[in-house]
């Protein structure tokens, strides 16, 4: 997945990551992101570190550790 701000797919996925009420959707978006991460991608992932789902938080930490 591209990390470019101008990439329409990336922009829509990041909006969905921030607004979706579905844990599964948030997890799928995070899994689709591959490192190295841009500053923009890290900012969106950082916002999800306070997610209500412990699974989402754990997944983000695992993604960051693996990259």
pLDDT in tens, the chain (67 residues): 555 556 888 889 999 999 999 999 999 999 999 889 989 899 999 999 999 999 999 999 999 998 7
Asked whether residue 2 is domain-assigned, the answer is no
pLDDT of residue 67: 79
| Token pair belonging to 32 | 């689709």
Residue 45 CB coordination number (10 Å): 21
- The pTM of this model reads 0.84
Domain tally for the chain?
1
pLDDT of residue 5: 58
- Helix ranges (H only) for the chain are 8-19, 23-32, 39-47, 54-66
Q: Which domain holds residue 48?
A: 8-66
pLDDT of residue 46: 93
């Amino acid at each position: 997945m591209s990390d470019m701000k101008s990439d329409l797919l990336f922009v829509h996925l990041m909006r969905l990551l921030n607004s979706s009420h579905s844990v599964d959707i948030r997890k799928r978006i995070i899994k689709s992101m591959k490192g190295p991460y841009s500053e923009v991608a890290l900012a969106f992932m950082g916002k999800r570190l306070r997610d209500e789902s412990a699974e989402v938080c754990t997944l983000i930490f695992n993604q960051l550790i693996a990259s």
